[in-house]
């Protein structure tokens, strides 16, 4: 049985952090940020009493309303995030409670910017093997909670947001999630990480003083690995499924840097107008970028469209998913 995405939803907070705002905070400028990354603004969750689960819950509530289902019908919630509300209970646990998914169980999955992709593949298994009929996959991150707003090399990149999709058994044999290729390589661990707060470096005065609870990135090696990793894996999945650039209706890339997206699009031989790009509005929302793209482009997607999803992120982790879109929005 094939799993199909049957509904998408997303949530971004109202408050904006623009490039102009950042020039007041660190030594940067609009031209540098736009030309090096493609980003103009990010949405930031400013309410100190709200966290990743609140954004995820908003996305899941909208998802249920759009699909016309009661949250109690959800079998499982899988949340990809690197900014869980707390170490435990899991963000999925908290989302389930906030939306009233009283019969669901769930867990979090940590794969940084590839998190939504890994979670989508994990959720797919429960449909394919006939275990469940309603699987919710969430990608949500409150990146502002781990960004150092005195570090100009990272604070310009990230934003907050959440996206969610509903997976159900496909109505036909044709459409739905067809193939995935995922990789991880711990050789990349040192280039993009948040060291503090885990079992290796439990919170202490020292971890705070050394800023170990903030995200750290050595941008250049990550950029280099991302450009080849995301492009190669996208080409690999096309080749394995006999697809040319012309066969692909949409490339749905993780939104980390416009130059990485452009390199992937060129390697795949896909026309640029078939690439979902919203990095200018949201920045890098980590696990939320891909479901937010699906939400923003949902009205343009047609049943049977070939979509290639692609991501690269901390770990390193990377991968690609090939799916045939399963519904027309007006159906």
Q: Which residues bind ligand UT7 (CB under 6 A)?
A: 28, 32, 36-37, 113, 152-153, 156, 219-220, 222-223, 226, 256-257, 260, 284, 313-314
Q: Which of 113, 155, 184, 293 is catalytic?
A: 113
Question: Strand 176-184's sheet: what is its strand order?
Answer: 176-184, 317-324, 306-313, 250-253
Q: Which of 184, 284, 293, 306 is catalytic?
A: 284
Element (H, E) at 297: helix 289-297
Q: Is 306 a catalytic residue?
A: no
Let me know the angle formed at the C-alpha of 92 by 88 and 94, rounded to the nearest 5 degrees: 70
Q: Which is nearer to ligand UT7, 164 or 311 (CB)?
A: 311
Instruction: Please report where in the chains the tokens 């409150």 appear, as a residue.
Output: 142
Q: Which is nearer to ligand UT7, 46 or 220 (CB)?
A: 220
**Tokens for 329?**
């929005």
Q: How far is the CB of 120 from ligand UT7 (least distance, A)?
A: 17
Q: Is 113 a catalytic residue?
A: yes
Q: Which is nearer to ligand UT7, 37 or 122 (CB)?
A: 37
Q: Which is nearer to ligand UT7, 36 or 211 (CB)?
A: 36
Q: Which of 19, 175, 254, 257 is catalytic?
A: 254
Q: Is 29 a catalytic residue?
A: no
Distance CA 138, CA 167 (A): 11
Residue 17's contacts (CB-CB under 8 Å, 6 or more residues apart) are: 41, 42, 43, 44, 144, 159
Best CA proximity match to 284, nearest among 52, 112, 75, 29:
112
Q: Compute the residue count for the chain.
A: 331
Give me the residue whose beta carbon is nearest to ligand UT7: 219
Q: How far is the CB of 156 from ligand UT7 (least distance, A)?
A: 5
Positions marked catalytic? 113, 254, 284
């Amino acid at each position: 049985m094939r799993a199909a995405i049957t509904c998408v939803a997303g949530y971004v907070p109202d408050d904006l952090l623009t490039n102009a705002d950042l020039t007041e905070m660190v030594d940067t400028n609009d031209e540098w940020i736009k030309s090096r990354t493609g980003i103009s603004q990010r949405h930031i969750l400013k309410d100190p009493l709200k966290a990743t689960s609140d954004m995820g819950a908003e996305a899941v509530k909208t998802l249920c309303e759009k699909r016309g289902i009661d949250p109690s019908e959800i079998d499982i919630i899988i949340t990809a995030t690197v900014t869980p509300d707390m170490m435990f209970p899991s963000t999925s646990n908290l989302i389930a409670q906030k939306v009233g998914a009283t019969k669901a169980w769930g867990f979090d999955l940590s794969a940084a910017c590839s998190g939504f992709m890994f979670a989508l593949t994990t959720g797919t298994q429960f449909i394919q093997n006939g275990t469940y009929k309603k699987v919710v996959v969430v990608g949500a991150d409150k990146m502002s909670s781990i960004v150092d707003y005195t570090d100009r090399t990272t604070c310009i990149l990230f934003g907050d947001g959440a996206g969610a999709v509903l997976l159900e058994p496909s109505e036909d044999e044709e459409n739905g999630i067809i193939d995935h290729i995922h990789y991880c390589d711990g050789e990349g661990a040192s280039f993009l990480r948040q060291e503090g707060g885990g079992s290796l470096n439990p919170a202490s005065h020292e971890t705070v003083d050394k800023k170990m609870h903030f995200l750290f990135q050595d941008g250049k090696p990550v950029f280099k690995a991302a450009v080849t990793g995301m492009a190669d894996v996208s080409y690999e999945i096309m080749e394995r499924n006999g697809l040319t650039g012309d066969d692909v209706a949409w490339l749905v890339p993780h939104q980390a840097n416009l130059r990485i997206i452009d390199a992937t699009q060129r390697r795949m031989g896909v026309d640029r107008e078939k690439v979902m790009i919203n990095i200018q509005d949201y920045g890098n929302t980590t696990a939320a970028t891909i479901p937010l793209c699906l939400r923003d482009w949902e009205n343009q997607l047609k049943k049977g469209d070939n979509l290639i999803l692609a991501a690269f992120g901390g770990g390193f982790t990377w991968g690609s998913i090939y799916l045939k879109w399963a519904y027309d929005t007006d159906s």
